Amino acid sequence: MTRPDADGRDAGVPAGRRPGAPEGEAGRPVRVRPPRPERRIAAAFGLTAAAAIGFAAVYWQGGQTQLEGVLLAVAFAGLAYGLGAWSARLMPQGPFVEEHEPFGSSRRQRAAFAAEFEEDVQAISRRRFLGRALVLAVGALGAALLFPLRSLGPRPGRALYQTPWRAGAQAVTADGRPVRAADLAVGSVLTVFPAGHVEAGDSAALLIRVDADVLRPAPERAGWSPQGLVAHSKLCTHAGCPVGLYEQGSNLLFCPCHQSVFDLLDRARPISGPAARPLPQLPIEITADGYVRARGDFEGPVGPGFWSRPP
């Protein structure tokens, strides 16, 4: 890797004083340093040892995170100081010079390599037909070996288009308790799921009671929100985060991930932030004995967009 340079010296030999260099190492500012660094270095190592013993004692006594951290930190700091001072004060400083040859090989070497290689590769390069057959074989095999990747997961199918909500599904809370309309006062919010599907990732819906007078549903959604109770998908249509912040009074839904804001009184349409589509609404009804039930699935696929999502 290193060769003797023109003077026959090996690499890594002290260069000696550079002409015109200031006192001290070549080109470096002279630092004022304390004499007798050995005592400080020894003290630093002593500190390391003491801190290490301290750490062991703390651990043996049951451990405590802050003490463990500070003792180990002190131990390593002592080592760092000691080794740093040792290398800076008590080891050969140089500057040392190492020459190196140009990065590319010499022309002669390249020519020799090319000649030998080409001679040996004739056995392969002249056989064009066999070469192509080999490429075909390896190509087919490589493509075939990609197939097991399919085992990693199920096909998307209809999964992104539907949720477990169905007509007649009873709305329940996260612990499975059926929800009654009377559970919510004006300005209350609950996260509800279809009974039996509390674990499903796309089934969460926000059930909110607003003042029935301010709710003006579109004609095709009349009957979707009885007694001022509205239900929308909780999954943000931007990147799928649960839209967990409901602002009573202004009736806004605020997603904490990227700050999309949805207007609950206007089909949960996005009015700010990067979301581009409203939160799909869940049509609900109130049964005779006051329980909240869905009338069908959400009005469209919930959550973030995807390539084949219908408009």
Partner 1 sequence: MWLVLAVVAGGGLLQLGMAGRTATASQPAQAGGRGQLLYQQSCASCHGQRGEGTERGPSLIGVGAASADFYLSTGRMPLTKEESNPDRAKPAFGRSDIDALVAYVASLDGGPAIPAVDPAAGRLAEGEQLYQENCAACHSATGTGGALTSGQAAPSLARSTPVQVAEAVRVGPGAMPKFPPQALNDPQLDSVAAYVGHLQDGGDRGGYGLGRIGPVTEGLVAWVVGLGLLILIARRLGQDAP
Partner 2 sequence: MILRRSARWLDDRLGAASVARTSLSKVFPDHWSFMLGEIALYCFVTLVLTGVFLTFFFEPGTNDVVYHGAYAPLDGARVSAAYASSVRLSFDVRTGLLMRQVHHWAALVFLAAIVVHLCRIFFTGAFRRPRELNWLIGVSMLALSLFNGFSGYSLPDDLLSGVGLRIAYSITLSIPVVGSWLAFLVFGGEFPADQIIHRLFVVHILLVPGLLVGLLAAHIGILVRQKHSQFPGPGRTEHNVVGSKLWPTYATRSTALFCAILAVLLALGGFAQINPIWLYGPFEPSQVSSPAQPDWYIGWVEGALRMYPPWEFRVFGRLVPNPFVPAVLVPGVTFLALYLWPFLEQWLTRDRDAHQLLDRPRDHPVRCAAGAGTLAFYGLLLATASNDVVARLTRVPVASLTWAGRVILLVGPPVAAAATYVVVRALRDSGAEGVLQVSFGQLVAAVRATGRRRPGRGARGQGRRRRPATIAGGSEDR
Of 89-108, binders to partner 1 (CB under 8 A) are: none
Provide CB contacts within 8 A for 261, sequence distance 6+. 252, 253, 254, 255, 270, 271, 272, 273
Type of residue numbered 274: P
29 near partner 1 (CB under 8 A): yes
CA quadruple 162, 168, 171, 175: dihedral positive or negative?
negative
Subset of 238-267 contacting partner 2 (CB under 8 A): 238-245, 256-261
Query: From the CB of 132, what's the least distance to partner 2, in Å?
Result: 30
Whether the CB-CB separation of 237 and 279 falls below 8 Å is answered with yes
CA 58 – CA 236 distance, rounded (Å): 48
Strand partners, 158: none
Whether the CB-CB separation of 206 and 302 falls below 8 Å is answered with no
Nearer Cβ to partner 2, position 130 or 276? 276
Nearer Cβ to partner 1, position 184 or 301? 184
Q: Look at residues 190, 211, 217 and name the one whose alpha carbon lies nearest to residue 281.
A: 217
Q: Which listed residue (84, 131, 139, 196) binds partner 1 by CB under 8 A?
A: 84
Q: Which listed residue (55, 183, 278, 292) binds partner 1 by CB under 8 A?
A: 183
Query: From the CB of 188, what's the least distance to partner 2, in Å?
Result: 17
Q: Which listed residue (80, 111, 112, 200) binds partner 1 by CB under 8 A?
A: 80
Nearer Cβ to partner 1, position 17 or 110? 17
Nearer Cβ to partner 2, position 35 or 148? 148
52 near partner 2 (CB under 8 A): no
Q: Which listed residue (106, 109, 272, 287) binds partner 1 by CB under 8 A?
A: 272
Q: Which residue has the tokens 């056995």?
A: 123
Q: Which residue has the tokens 């939160």?
A: 279
242 near partner 1 (CB under 8 A): yes
27 near partner 2 (CB under 8 A): yes
Whether the CB-CB separation of 25 and 94 falls below 8 Å is answered with yes
194 near partner 2 (CB under 8 A): no
188's contact among partner 2, partner 1, none, with CB below 5 to 8 A by partner kind, is partner 1
User: Residue 273: how many CA atoms within 13 Å on its side-chain side?
Assistant: 23
Q: How many CB atoms lie under 10 A from the CB of residue 75?
A: 19
88 near partner 1 (CB under 8 A): yes
Type of residue numbered 282: L
Which stretch in 60-68, 122-130, 133-141, 218-226 sits in contact with partner 2 by CB under 8 A? 60-68
Q: Which listed residue (65, 102, 146, 149) binds partner 1 by CB under 8 A?
A: 65
250 near partner 1 (CB under 8 A): yes
Which stretch in 98-106, 130-138, 213-221, 278-286 sits in contact with partner 2 by CB under 8 A? 98-106
21 near partner 1 (CB under 8 A): no
Q: Which two tokens stand for residue 247?
A: 């602002």
Q: Which residue has the tokens 């005592």?
A: 39
Q: Give me the phi and psi of 87, to 5 degrees please.
A: -70, -30
Nearer Cβ to partner 2, position 289 or 308? 308
CA 262 – CA 143 distance, rounded (Å): 46
